[in-house]
Amino acid sequence: MAYLFDEDKITSVGDLLAALQKDEERSREALEPKRTSRQHPAGETHLKGNYSKPPIWYRGLRKISRKLLPTFYRKECKVDIKDEIYLMNLFKQNAHEILAQIPNNIWEWMFLMRHHKAPSRLLDWTENPLVALYFAVYPREDSKNLYADDGVLWCLLPNRLNVVSLRWPNDDYTLPMLSGNPEEVSRGAGETIELYLPTISEELPPGRLPAAGIAPRTNRRMQVQMSVFTIHHVNNKTPVEQALEDGTHIWRYKVPQEYKEPIYQELGRIGVNRRILFPELDNVAREAKDLLGGD
């Protein structure tokens, strides 16, 4: 499978930072020939120098063999995609009395459901590579081997994905907002990301490749994890890593199994830990207990 760069191995936090410094520059060079000055439909000129640094998103997985597929399209999911809206309605039915703040639109309901592990077409990414590295190395509590399997850290150029899926302009590094405001979801003559919302049609619409967007960070966990998202269409199961045949939208780093524990400890020393990334009282108590050596 083709990716933008060859796969490097990450054996420490320093390794990752060095690899990113190299590859961020190479990614700009790879995209630069595709960028030109152009005229927006409204008449304003979009200059080549604007948004000159393409965003890079990161996703860490403990198992390198896992594909970049959301839960709805994984083998273990038992819910049919045609029941997505009914699933959401059932969730809403009983969530209202528990929630201190009610979501403002369908996107926010989707984020909330994803947050609480309901089947979803969303995939979480982060703008912070150290957060992604944490998710690639954190220990498996359901296994005797806490650090089983090689991990992986994916690096995504979301605007390259949107060039194909949303017909986004090549020279525009902005991203649509996953919100209820129609002015925030498209760019020029491109397609709107609203096409990725749940559908009640008996006949699913033609499938589109995954698209990328930013979202209001409406809870503490989204804030600290610097969450961003890709979303799969209701009728397309293409993994994100296979979305573009030439692989110019993505690359990855392998995290060998034997380096997971020392990397996990390194991250803890610089404050990237469970309590920070999951700021909930259970994890505050857990950290206090662990510091004292409790079971």
Token pair listed for 279: 């700021």
The answer to whether residues 6 and 249 touch, using CB atoms and an 8 Å cutoff, is no
- Please, what are the averages of pLDDT over each run of 10 residues along the chain (295 residues)? 90 96 86 52 39 85 96 92 92 91 91 92 97 95 82 96 88 84 64 82 73 90 94 93 94 97 96 90 81 71
Instruction: Give the single-character DSSP code of 7.
Output: P
- SS3 for 263-295, per residue? HHHHHHHCCCCHHHHCCCHHHHHHHHHHHCCCC
Token pair listed for 181: 């405001």
pLDDT score of 41: 43
Looking at the DSSP assignment, which residues form a beta bridge with residue 39? 45
Domains of the chain by residue range: 8-35+54-66+123-291
The answer to whether residues 46 and 40 touch, using CB atoms and an 8 Å cutoff, is yes
pLDDT score of 230: 97
Looking at the DSSP assignment, which residues form a beta bridge with residue 57? 156
The answer to whether residues 107 and 177 touch, using CB atoms and an 8 Å cutoff, is no
Phi, psi of 79 (to 5 degrees): -100, 130
Give the global pTM: 0.88
Phi, psi of 60 (to 5 degrees): -105, 140
Alpha-carbon distance of 45 to 51, in angstroms, equals 13
Alpha-carbon distance of 60 to 17, in angstroms, equals 15
Is the CA virtual torsion 224, 122, 91, 93 positive or negative? positive
Alpha-carbon distance of 87 to 120, in angstroms, equals 10
pLDDT score of 170: 82
Residue 119 CB neighbours (<10 A) = 19
pLDDT score of 186: 63
Helix axis angle for 129-137 and 13-31, nearest 10°, is: 130
